[in-house]
Amino acid sequence: MTPMPPAAGRRRRIFVPPPAELVPPAPPQLPDPPIYRDLVRTWADRGRTLPGRHDPEWVRLAAPLFGLAQFSGSRDPRRDGR
């Protein structure tokens, strides 16, 4: 695409933002206290959902359902004869 020249007598001003400031790196994550590690281990042993871990049941429940249109609640009175 060829840039079009600005209208006669008008000049375009181009805004160039200043450089972004450097963000300091995040401090290293501290390990969880032993009580939380034990709790997570207990939950995992019982098959419970854990934060940050894959949950196949949630994936199954959140998956889109196909064929819902055939079970919708809306009816066309012309087709039902009502």
Dihedral sign, Cα of residue 31, residue 33, residue 38, residue 40: negative
Number of Cβ atoms within 10 Å of the Cβ of 36: 10
Statement: the pTM of the whole predicted model exceeds 0.85: no
Over range 28-52, report the average pLDDT. Answer: 87
Q: Look at 7-11, 32-36, 41-45, 76-80 and tell me which has the smallest mean pLDDT.
A: 76-80
What pLDDT score was predicted for residue 5?
60
DSSP 37: H
Tokens of 58: 């949630």
pLDDT tens sequence across 8-24: 667 788 887 777 777 77
What pLDDT score was predicted for residue 51?
81
What pLDDT score was predicted for residue 46?
92
Tokens of 55: 């949950």
